[in-house]
Structure formats: structure tokens, C-alpha cells
Amino acid sequence: MALQISPSILSADFARLAEELDRIADADWAHVDVMDNHFVPNLTLGAPVVEALVKVSPIPVDTHLMIEDPDRWAPAYADAGARSVTFHAEAARAPVRLARELRALGVRAGLGLKPATPIEPYLDLLPEFDMILVMTVEPGFGGQPFLDVCLPKIRRTREAIASSGLDVWLQVDGGVSEDTIERCADAGADVFVAGSAVYGADDAAGQIKRLRELAAAACAH
């Protein structure tokens, strides 16, 4: 499986976002967290800002919608130019219908799960998604410590994907750093969201390379 690094701009300088996107040009994706202060206790940005970011980003934009009523709002992020749109299982009323609508708009459809949400109820739906996002912190704020209790869920999800024979990516988001990325990769993740670990480094490009190397080494084992 190809390993991908998706730095979260939640840890970037919001007053200099175009420049901050240039800092992560060596990554695979720019991860944009959309929060509505209802589904999670934080408020970030919406579709108009995502559209502006897409125009200046050197890499594809991966949107993570931590919002209520994604059935209504998620397609707007596809229209805004995001290449991947992930919504939460806990918020969607009709996740299959929404995933199909997103795919019809030409974007990758992802399903996000909070730490306490089991993967098992969604295993039969794997063919409907391009990516499963396992949150490794409680969604809402960057810089939280990694929750090791999520590793068994990552492993079970990877086993289910492998058994299905599907090309579904497995993303982890929350507390991913040099200290934790190897555990995530060993459990089966292949897309890694890292915010403060990248943007807190003096050399963001070097840190992206380092994270990629650590994940690859864990997979090689």
C-alpha cells in the first residue's frame, strides 16, 4: 500500500495560509478540518475558504467535515474543489446515499469515526467508500495526545479491508507524530494526518520526509 502524509492546516498560521500551504508542498494532501461548533466544540472555516485554498494549494485538498447535517453540506466541498471529502458516521443520516453523491461529483468519499465509534456496523458498507478515517483523538482541537486505545480498531479495519479485496484507504488523524506514526502504520494505517508535528517543525518538508520514512520502516517490519 502507498503511504501518504496529509498535514493538517489546523496547526498552520491562518493569517498566512497560502505560504503555509507552500511549506507542505512535498506532502500528498493538504488536510483541511471543517468544524461547525455543533458537532464539535470548535469553529474553523467553511466552503468559501476551502475554495480559496484549493486555488493556491500545490497539492490536493482533503476535507474532514466535523459538522452536523453533512448530508446537506458535504457536496458543497466537492463543488469547492476538494479532491477528498470525509464526513462522520455519527452525523450522517444516509451515509451510503451521501457517499454515492460525492463520488458522482468526482471526489473521493471518506467515512470518519470518533474514537468510541466501532467500525463493525460499517463493514458491509466498505464498497461505498474510498477511505475510512479512524480518529485517534476526540475531534475538535489539534495538539491532543494520541489515544493508543484506537490501535485495535485500526487493526480490525485494516483486516476487514484486506479481506474485502477493496482499495480503501485507512486514514488516522490525531496525535500523529514521530513517536506514534510507526504504531499507526504497524496497525495498518496508510494515510497519516499530522498537524502540529509538521507545522511545529522548523523544516516542514524535512519533517514530512521523516514521518514518511518512519511509516515505511514500520510497514517493512
**Tens digit of pLDDT for each residue in 117-174?**
999 999 999 999 999 999 999 988 777 899 999 999 999 999 999 999 999 999 999 9
The per-residue pLDDT for 33 is 97
| CATH (domain of 52) | 3.20.20.70
Q: Are 137 and 147 in contact (CB under 8 A)?
A: yes
Runs of H (alpha helix) within the chain: 17-23, 47-56, 70-79, 95-104, 151-164, 181-187, 196-199, 204-220
Residues 6+ apart with CB under 8 A from 159: 188
pLDDT bucket at 221, cuts 50 / 70 / 90: confident
| Planar angle of CA 185, 191, 193, nearest 5 degrees | 100
At 202, the amino acid letter reads D
The per-residue pLDDT for 144 is 85
- All three cell numbers of 130, joined, read 474510498
DSSP 8-class letter at 127: G
Distance CA 121, CA 172 (A): 19
Runs of H (alpha helix) within 124-195: 151-164, 181-187
Cα 162 to the center of its chain, rounded Å: 20
Active site residues: 33, 173
pLDDT bucket at 1, cuts 50 / 70 / 90: low
Summarize pLDDT for 75-88 with one digit per residue, the tens: 999 999 999 999 99
Summarize pLDDT for 9-50 with one digit per residue, the tens: 999 999 999 999 999 999 999 999 999 999 999 999 999 999
pLDDT bucket at 51, cuts 50 / 70 / 90: very high
The per-residue pLDDT for 90 is 98
pLDDT bucket at 191, cuts 50 / 70 / 90: very high
Cα 106 to the center of its chain, rounded Å: 18
Summarize pLDDT for 104-116 with one digit per residue, the tens: 999 999 999 999 9
The per-residue pLDDT for 2 is 87
How many structural domains is the chain composed of? 1
Summarize pLDDT for 177-189 with one digit per residue, the tens: 999 999 999 999 9
Evaluate if residue 92 carries a pLDDT over 80: yes
DSSP 8-class letter at 16: G
Q: Are 24 and 62 in contact (CB under 8 A)?
A: no
- Its pTM stands at 0.96
Q: Which domain holds residue 186?
A: 4-220
- If one counts every other C-beta atom within 10 angstroms of the C-beta of residue 159, the result is 12
